[in-house]
Amino acid sequence: MKKVAIVILNWNGVAMMRRFLPSVIKHSSDVADIIVADNDSKDDSLALLKAEFPTVHTIILDKNYGFAGGYNRALEQVDYEYYMLLNSDVEVTEGWMERLVDFMDANPEVAACQPKLRAEHSRDMFEYAGASGGYIDRYGYPFCRGRVFDTVEKDQGQYDDPCEVMWATGAALMIRREDYWRVGGLDARFFAHCEEIDLCWRLCNLGRKIYCVPQSVVYHVGGGTLPKGNPMKTFLNFRNNLTMLYKNLPEAELAHVMRVRRVLDYVAAFKSLLLDRNLGEFKAVVNGRKAFKVWRKDFDADRRQIQALRTSATDAMRKPYSILWQYYIHGCRTYRNIKE
């Protein structure tokens, strides 16, 4: 029996699957079974799979449960040693899966890992969503080796060392089944955005490790479900990021970080309104904060459990600095230039 299940969560992605599934089948079938979990698509996704990709297994969900909920429901039906959560808009390359499996087999302390992500449309550039592994700063802002805010680097091999990171991208996330369910899987309440960072943080809290393995390379389109600049994406990012912080921050830091984030979030909101003339983005930030305040109490039990199981009073992989300060004040536009 194969030890890896590649699970592609699909929602109305017929064009992406027709374009990218052939590479997944070609470069993965020897070592992994390929499964498409359909999130109640209304296009011809299932007909395409039946007609053109008969070797691909399917799981059919009765409605759109979002990224987090969809994966949880699908993976409940999948019994393999490793899960590979793979977006439908990813082109994989020869040997990508073998390199990840070999790394995981050799490093049992590692719960999850990711390949190096390059941009499909500009193939010598890193891809925004995951690049060569991710971190968050003291106040919860995510960035990557290869991408800090909107500055995306050309891949010149500068981040080709396998490296422990704080989070691995949900676009191509390999994770042990045991570890995935040890922390309860993705938080389905998030629906989409920040859910893989929250998952990885919870694993880090248990002393498990997350890695990027850049010898494995894939190409990602990105932005397929909610493109950058969409107010709903902004709303989800702010609401979910604050929720992630509330769940996972060490007790000694929670009050301070949340106070600073309140200031920074409203600065971002008024920048959108006054400088960018974008009322939709302003409302999305404000409404994201309001939504977090309304449902915060629903996560009290989660926070108590996470903190009780924490193996350290501090976060070893969360960066101690502000990436905003590094980027805008010090002018550190790339990960290599950040002043630790």
Mean pLDDT per block of 10 residues along the chain (340 residues) reads 95 95 97 97 95 96 94 97 97 98 98 98 95 97 97 97 97 98 97 95 97 98 66 95 98 98 97 94 97 98 97 94 96 91
- Compute the distance between CA of residue 225 and CA of residue 207 in angstroms, rounded to an integer: 33
pLDDT of residue 118: 98
pLDDT of residue 1: 78
CB 139 within 8 A of CB 264: yes
Beta-strand runs (E) in the chain:
4-10, 32-38, 57-60, 82-86, 90-92, 110-119, 134-136, 142-144, 147-148, 151-152, 163-165, 172-176, 209-220
The H-or-E segment that residue 15 falls in is: helix 14-28
pLDDT of residue 116: 98
pLDDT of residue 266: 97
pLDDT of residue 283: 97
CB 282 within 8 A of CB 272: yes
pLDDT of residue 67: 92
- Compute the distance between CA of residue 234 and CA of residue 285 in angstroms, rounded to an integer: 7
Quick one: CATH architecture of 4-220? Alpha-Beta Complex (3.90)
Backbone φ and ψ for 285, nearest 5 degrees, come out as: -65, -50
Domain ranges of the chain: 4-220, 231-337
- Compute the distance between CA of residue 16 and CA of residue 161 in angstroms, rounded to an integer: 30
- Compute the distance between CA of residue 158 and CA of residue 335 in angstroms, rounded to an integer: 10
pLDDT of residue 296: 98
- Measured N-to-C along each axis, helices 300-309 and 195-205 cross at an angle, to the nearest 10 degrees, of 40
Helix boundaries (H) for 107-194: 177-182
